[in-house]
Chain A
Amino acid sequence: MEKALFILKSEDLSYWDVSYSRLYFGSEFCQNLIPGISQTDKILEFVYRHKLFFSLVTPYCAEEGIKKVEKLLKFLTAAKIEAEVVFNDFGTFRLLKEYKFLPVMGRLLTKQNRDPRISLFNLKQPQKWEHLKECAMLSQGAKEFLKDNLINRIEIDNLRQGIKLNTGLLQELHVSLFLPFCFITTGRFCVFKNDNFDASCQKECQELAETKLHHKAMPVELSLKGNTLYYRNTQPVKIKDRTVDRLVWQPRF
């Protein structure tokens, strides 16, 4: 089982140890957090020094963001860096085809049901909600799409209700499992921006602690960081599927 460490900034390299053979670097949820070239270069030095594999993580993007992503891809191409690129936007996927990078479908696009309350649903009729353990990107039609578009790896979250993978006939497919944080929802409105999602960003979400939210109907504590709601799933992983061959550990969201 491959182990990857997912970090957003170079300071978090301190979390690395020799058990990780791969480094994930970048952002999934905000184009303002797409790393710059010098930041990326610093990370690549570390990757090179420790002989690691590298995965660049990219978010969903408006036009400004997709231009930043393209700039990074040009940099990686010029530096002849072999990298996977995790995409959470089909515009980015199109760029990956153009620049010939190995595409990995990120967890925003693999469409799992992540509402923590799902695990509390009526247990007397489990057949009514078994589908809520599945991943929509592993439906029959979606697997054809993955195969036709040469996408061989997808990323998923560890769900409270359990996970049911239908990798089936897709021999070449690989799955990465993210731990311990499970995102629930995200958007372009940021709690630091007062409804102006295009206002200038000071990356407050990186400096300030996340806010914890509670409600009696919610079985877990939720966290809000910037524009994304998520929770920490401390339950053990309930899946045994040979296609899950990578664990991606996030020391912080």
Chain B
Amino acid sequence: MNIVCPLSREDEIAGIISSGADEIYCGVLPDAWERSYIDFASIDRRPYPYACLSDYQQLGNVVNFCRPRKIPVFLTVNEFYADSQFNQITAHLKKAAQSGVDGFIVADISLLAWIRKTMAKNLKVHVSGRANILNSQAINFLKEMGADRVIFPRQLTLEELKNLSICAQNTGLETEVYILNLNCRFLDGFCTFYHKKSAVTAKLLRLRAKNSGLEEGLLSLIPDYFRKTAQKKVLENFFGCCMPYTFNGTNENKRALKNYLNLEPLLNACGACLLYQFEKFKISHVKIVGRENLTGRKLKDISFLKEALALLKHKGSFEEYAERIRALFIRIYATKCGSCYYKF
């Protein structure tokens, strides 16, 4: 299985490759887009300057570093774009192609169709988990539309994943699953909650783009509990799905709702135990989520997965493997894992 790792800064690439990533995905936030929309529209689901490269020159440099090492680089364009944005997005795709990317990650099936009609045939197109491909008919549809890979959404049971992988492989599609980091209560591709941030936070985030190393050093001094609390507060303030709503109802109803809207299990989400099954299902790629994460975190994620994949050689039973993975998680991240990505 190949490890697909996010990248948000040019200076991350050497560390990410030497840690063992097999494929890179990244976004570019051009000045023109940022000037047009500030934070009112994301170009690729991460409306933060520090989560994206800032120009195509940087993208080209990343590609030039990766190409001799045979590491593919994919550009994320996994949003749904309005008509007023269409020309900017198609120009964006063309510039990225000129920079040498191997292909794109799209959520909008009509954008997949446009790429296939208009752009070079050697460019690969991966269909994001945001397209919510949940059944075999949809997989066949993707193949007919010219996709090269399907990224499965998180809300699938193991049995469903197994059957969909078989279907994808039979059609000739590569398969990819999310494996680490932030989970979501809802199906991302159907969610229309806006990930808004305040003007003050936006300024702080721009500073972060320039001082990632400083922030990383400072963050390491803060105990894990306070970091998680701060993260929770940010999510509660800006993500509509995470806000601490008040609601009426019976006690049983309130308990069910509190559990349903509880943010805690969505942090530190992971699917690494299931590498055991994914190997059997012949899943080809596992994706680390979190372009917005600091470099140190990304390198830890790759190390964790590298060790988890190595453990597959001596796996024993699934329960034994899962126990080793949970212990590995604690050793690498100094905290217990949160929710499981997939239901099993």
Chain B minimum-CB-distance residue to A196: B343
B247 within 8 A of A: yes
Min Cβ gap B31→A in Å is 15
Q: Which residues of A contact B260 (CB under 8 A)?
A: 189, 191, 224
A37 within 8 A of B: no
- In the bound complex, how far is the Cα of B142 from the Cα of A212, in angstroms? 38
Chain B minimum-CB-distance residue to A136: B80
State the total of A-B contacts with C-beta under 8 angstroms.
Answer: 193
Q: Is the CB of B257 within 8 A of A90?
A: no
- In the bound complex, how far is the Cα of B85 from the Cα of A166, in angstroms? 12
Q: Is the CB of A140 within 8 A of B155?
A: no
Point out the residue from A140, A184, A218 that lies within 8 Å of B83, measured CB to CB.
A140
Q: Is the CB of B134 within 8 A of A134?
A: no
Point out the residue from B80, B157, B240, B249 that lies within 8 Å of A117, measured CB to CB.
B240
Given known A-B contacts A93-B141, A213-B246, A63 and B160 have beta carbons under 8 A apart: yes
Q: Which residues of A contact B190 (CB under 8 A)?
A: 60, 108, 185-187
Min Cβ gap B164→A in Å is 8
Q: Is the CB of B243 within 8 A of A217?
A: yes
Q: Which residues of A contact B248 (CB under 8 A)?
A: 211-212
Interface positions, chain A 196-227, Cβ under 8 Å from B, are 196-198, 211-215, 217-218, 222, 224
Q: Is the CB of A140 within 8 A of B192?
A: no
B109 within 8 A of A: yes
Count contacts on A: residues with CB < 8 A to the other chain.
Answer: 66
Point out the residue from A62, A137, A183, A217 that lies within 8 Å of B135, measured CB to CB.
A62
Q: Which residues of A contact B138 (CB under 8 A)?
A: 66, 89-91, 94
Min Cβ gap A59→B in Å is 10
Count contacts on B: residues with CB < 8 A to the other chain.
Answer: 66
- In the bound complex, how far is the Cα of B186 from the Cα of A196, in angstroms? 14
Q: Is the CB of A184 within 8 A of B132?
A: no
Q: Is the CB of A213 within 8 A of B194?
A: no
Q: Which residues of B contact A129 (CB under 8 A)?
A: 40
Chain A minimum-CB-distance residue to B249: A211
- In the bound complex, how far is the Cα of B140 from the Cα of A218, in angstroms? 40
Q: Is the CB of B135 within 8 A of A63?
A: yes
Q: Is the CB of A136 within 8 A of B82?
A: yes
Point out the residue from A114, A139, A189, A215 that lies within 8 Å of B192, measured CB to CB.
A114
Q: Is the CB of A139 within 8 A of B186?
A: no
Q: Which residues of B contact A146 (CB under 8 A)?
A: 110
Q: Is the CB of B111 within 8 A of A62?
A: no
Chain B minimum-CB-distance residue to A184: B192
- In the bound complex, how far is the Cα of B239 from the Cα of A218, in angstroms? 11
- In the bound complex, how far is the Cα of B86 from the Cα of A131, in angstroms? 11
Q: Is the CB of A89 within 8 A of B40?
A: no
- In the bound complex, how far is the Cα of B343 from the Cα of A112, in angstroms? 30
A interface, CB within 8 angstroms of B: 60-63, 65-66, 89-95, 108, 111-115, 117-118, 121, 128-132, 134-142, 144-146, 148, 166, 168, 183-189, 191-192, 194-198, 211-215, 217-218, 222, 224, 229
User: Nearest 3 pairs between A and B by C-beta?
Assistant: A91-B137, A91-B138, A145-B110
Q: List 5 A-B contacts (CB under 8 A).
A: A91-B136, A142-B110, A183-B192, A212-B247, A229-B241
B interface, CB within 8 angstroms of A: 36-38, 40-41, 80-87, 90, 108-111, 113-114, 117, 131-142, 144, 155-157, 160, 163-164, 184-187, 190-194, 196, 237, 240-241, 243-249, 253, 256-257, 259-260, 343
